[in-house]
């Protein structure tokens, strides 16, 4: 039995306290199928989130089978929650979506155990004939079936559904309500369904009417019209507006003892259903990581726009760099050893040598910086939407027992492969077509990898912190845009500004480290000639800074992914 006692939920807005849920008292029998109805904005979703434990009540107590949920929350196995938004990825098929949900949420003994769970769910929800269909082509009703199916993988004892019938035609709505009814009756499952709709109320065991945060009725659907003195349920919403919320609430407090959820009285006789699957436990971190990695690659490889964009950047960017270095890098001129030449001639030689150093140094510095900047651009494309773009599903999956460590490791594994491909290809391509670019190839590849990884990691952090993917990609693009001016590589910055900005600029460390490692026998003077106004740091210091950027980015990704953002 689920009992809500004096439940209130307040929020603070501009120093003002707003009561969204007011003094709610409810008793819901085990195995009961309950509708929560009420006009838009009356607090239905808020109440459901309080029961789920997503929002913590400001006062009052909730118990489930005499267990205080404040002390021990519903476990992800016990509770299913179908939110108001879609929780499936468009690119996956129905079968893949359900199987991945099983792998993320349930510890299965072997393949046949997982197959049994899958078969039970698709047969029950009528999705067996749609198993190969992609989510994006499903109808509204089929999508709702899938949302329910995804929650059934743990065979939960309590299922909370938010607007799973909204926007459906009457026939589909009828089918979904009948499905929920059978899901409740077949396994003694308590189902609370939030809905605007006053159709099909007869299928519910009891109906809760919420009005402006107050419960103003909870009892059998057959008594609803009598209680509100209306001839049909459709008249209830207009009738509610005729009295103040508090009046309805006071009136309900007076009469509530005469009404109750009919399944409460059945409580003592009810037979516990102990089937095998009720004893399911949560999937391991390794299994979640494996399922998420597989899902990420499937979604990535099926998104043609993303693939074209990534391939375009991968192949075109190195070509762009090479275009500037196709003529090769000359050896710098040296001053001839002629003791008898006159002063004017010696001066002319010196000017010509300085010019040659400047020209060669600028070309080397430009080529290095161009590679670095293009890699930071690829990096922002790699990860700037990664977490923010799937925030709602992430919240839902965290709630269902997904570990942040598994989630983040699957992201790191995926991004690592992109970063390796992009930086190694950039380094090797440029080396092949501009072989005269100085420096050790391994050192150059390490620096390119690190700058790409650091920016990818920072953009991943941004996508974890930001509220939506648009904000996140905008901030990431600004960050990439500021790399060049703030690096001091093109225009020297005032010393005090560069001291503040440079630590944060990955491109500066990569450029500086690369140039420092290129100061070999021939090019030291050329590189010095173009970096007079910017102090170069040693390659070792630059590597340390880039690694720090990676760690900071991952730290923010973790904090951001962990922080609830419903």
Instruction: Provide CB contacts within 8 A for 187, sequence distance 6+.
Output: 155, 273, 275
Three-state DSSP at 67 gives strand
Q: What residues from 408 to 447 belong to the interface with ligand ATP (CB under 6 A)?
A: none
Q: For Mg ion, which is the closer residue by CB, 45 or 382? A: 45
For residue 20, the minimal CB distance to ligand ATP (Å) is: 5
The CB-of-395 to ligand ATP minimum distance in angstroms stands at 14
Q: Find the part of the chain contacting Mg ion (CB under 5 A) among 44-52, 132-140, 281-289, 292-300.
A: 44-52
Phi, psi of 91 (to 5 degrees): -80, -15
Q: Name which of Mg ion, ligand ATP, none residue 543 binds, using a CB cut-off of 5 to 8 Å depending on partner kind.
A: none
The binder of 20, among Mg ion, ligand ATP, none, by C-beta within 5 to 8 A per type, is ligand ATP
Residue 134, beta-bridge partner list: 93
Q: Give, as ranges, the residues between 45 and 64 that touch Mg ion (CB under 5 A).
A: 45
The single residue listed with the structure tokens 């050329």 is 526
Give the alpha-carbon dihedral of 486, 536, 367, 525, to 10 degrees.
140
CB of 533 to ligand ATP, least distance (A): 51
CA angle, residues 390, 393, 397, in degrees to nearest 5: 130
Q: In whole angstroms, how close is the CB of 195 to Mg ion at the nearest point?
A: 10
CA 499 to each of CA 504, 517, 536, 544: distance values in angstroms, whole numbers, following the listed order:
10, 22, 12, 17
Pick one of 1, 2, 37, 46: the residue that binds ligand ATP (CB under 6 A).
46
Angle between helix 170-186 and 140-151 (nearest 10): 20
Q: Are strands 2-13 and 16-28 parallel, antiparallel or unpaired?
A: antiparallel
Q: Which residue has the closest beta carbon to Mg ion?
A: 45
Q: Spell out the residues 6+ positions from residue 156 whose beta carbon is closer than 8 angstroms to its own.
A: 77, 78, 79, 80, 189
Least CB distance to ligand ATP at residue 51 (A)? 12
Q: State the Cα–Cα distance between residues 456 and 476, nearest whole angstrom.
A: 10
**Alpha-helical regions (H) of 232-342:** 236-240, 245-255, 285-302, 304-325
Task: Name the minimum Å distance from CB 40 to Mg ion.
Answer: 8
Contact window for ligand ATP (CB under 6 A) among 39-47, 99-107, 396-404, 490-498: 39-47
DSSP states of 327-373:
T--PPPP-----TTS-HHHHHHHHHHHHHHHHHHHHHHHHHHHHHHH
Considering CB distances under 5 to 8 angstroms, the limit depending on partner class, which of Mg ion, ligand ATP, none binds residue 11? ligand ATP
Q: Is 41 in the site for ligand ATP (CB under 6 A)?
A: yes
- Residue 22 in contact with ligand ATP, rule: CB under 6 A: no
196 binds ligand ATP (CB under 6 A): yes
* Contact status: 85 vs ligand ATP (CB under 6 A): no
Nearer to ligand ATP, 186 or 234 (CB): 234
Strands 79-82 and 67-68: unpaired
Number of residues that bind ligand ATP (CB under 6 A): 12
The span of 34-42, 222-230, 397-405, 497-505 binding ligand ATP (CB under 6 A) equals: 34-42
Looking at the Cβ atoms of 13 and 242, the one nearer to ligand ATP is 13
Nearest to 45, CA basis, from 152, 150, 196, 156: 196
- Find the shortest distance in angstroms from Cβ 321 to Mg ion: 52
Binding partner of 43, given Mg ion, ligand ATP, none, CB within 5-8 angstroms per partner class: ligand ATP
Which of 12, 14, 17, 40 touches ligand ATP by CB under 6 A? 40
193 lies in the binding site for ligand ATP (CB under 6 A): no
Q: In what order do the strands lie in the sheet with 59-64?
A: 16-28, 2-13, 59-64, 67-68
State in angstroms the smallest separation of the CB of 490 from ligand ATP. Answer: 46
Q: Which residues bind ligand ATP (CB under 6 A)?
A: 11, 13, 20, 38, 40-46, 196
> Could you list the residues that contact Mg ion (CB under 5 A)?
45
């Amino acid at each position: 039995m689920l009992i809500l006692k004096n439940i209130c939920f307040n929020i603070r807005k501009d120093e003002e306290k707003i009561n969204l849920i007011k003094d709610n008292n409810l008793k819901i029998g085990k195995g009961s199928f309950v509708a929560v109805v009420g006009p838009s904005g009356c607090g239905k979703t808020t109440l459901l989130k309080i029961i789920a434990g997503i929002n913590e009540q400001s006062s009052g107590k909730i118990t489930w089978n005499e267990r205080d949920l404040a002390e021990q929350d519903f476990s992800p196995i016990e509770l299913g929650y179908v939110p108001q938004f879609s929780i499936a990825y468009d690119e996956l098929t129905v079968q893949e979506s359900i199987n991945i949900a099983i792998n993320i949420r349930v510890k299965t003994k072997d393949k046949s155990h997982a197959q049994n769970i899958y078969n039970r769910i698709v047969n029950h929800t009528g999705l067996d004939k749609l198993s190969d269909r992609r989510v994006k082509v499903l109808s509204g009703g089929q999508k709702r079936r899938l949302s329910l199916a995804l929650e059934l993988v743990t065979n939960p004892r309590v299922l909370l559904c938010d607007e799973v019938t909204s926007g459906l035609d009457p026939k589909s709505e009828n089918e979904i309500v009948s499905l929920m009814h059978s899901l409740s009756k077949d396994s003694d499952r308590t189902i609370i369904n939030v809905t605007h709709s006053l159709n099909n109320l007869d299928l519910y065991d009891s109906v809760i009417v919420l009005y402006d945060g107050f419960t103003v009725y909870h009892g059998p659907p057959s008594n609803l019209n009598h209680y509100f003195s209306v001839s049909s349920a459709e008249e209830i919403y207009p009738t509610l507006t005729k009295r103040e919320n508090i009046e309805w609430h006071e009136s309900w407090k007076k009469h509530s003892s005469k009404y109750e959820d009919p399944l409460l009285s059945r409580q003592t006789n009810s037979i516990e259903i102990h089937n095998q699957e009720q004893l399911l436990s949560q999937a391991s971190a390794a299994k979640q990581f494996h399922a998420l990695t597989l899902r990420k690659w499937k979604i990535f490889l099926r998104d043609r726009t993303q693939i074209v964009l990534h391939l375009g950047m991968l192949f075109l960017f190195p070509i762009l760099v090479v275009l500037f270095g196709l003529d090769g890098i000359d050896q710098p001129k040296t001053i001839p050893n002629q003791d008898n030449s006159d002063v004017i001639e010696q001066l002319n030689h010196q000017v010509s040598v300085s010019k040659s150093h400047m020209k060669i140094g600028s070309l080397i510095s430009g080529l290095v910086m161009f590679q670095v900047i293009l890699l930071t651009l690829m990096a922002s494309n790699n990860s700037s939407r990664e977490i923010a773009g799937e925030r709602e599903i992430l919240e839902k999956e965290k709630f269902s027992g997904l570990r942040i460590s598994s989630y983040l490791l699957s992201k790191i594994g995926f991004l690592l492969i992109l970063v390796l491909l992009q930086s190694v290809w950039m380094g090797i391509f440029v080396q092949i077509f501009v072989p005269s670019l100085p420096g050790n190839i391994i050192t150059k590849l390490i620096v390119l990898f690190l700058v790409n990884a650091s920016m990818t990691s920072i953009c991943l952090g941004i996508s974890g912190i930001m509220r939506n993917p648009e904000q996140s990609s905008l901030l990431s693009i600004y960050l990439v845009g500021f790399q060049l001016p703030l690096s001091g590589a093109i225009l020297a910055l005032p010393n005090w500004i560069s001291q503040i900005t440079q630590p944060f600029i990955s491109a500066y460390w990569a450029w500086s480290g690369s140039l420092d490692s290129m100061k070999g026998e021939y090019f030291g003077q050329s590189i010095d000639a173009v970096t007079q106004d910017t102090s170069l740091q040693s390659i070792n210091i630059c590597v340390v800074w880039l690694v720090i950027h990676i760690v900071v980015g991952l730290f923010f990704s973790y904090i951001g992914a962990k922080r609830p953002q419903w």
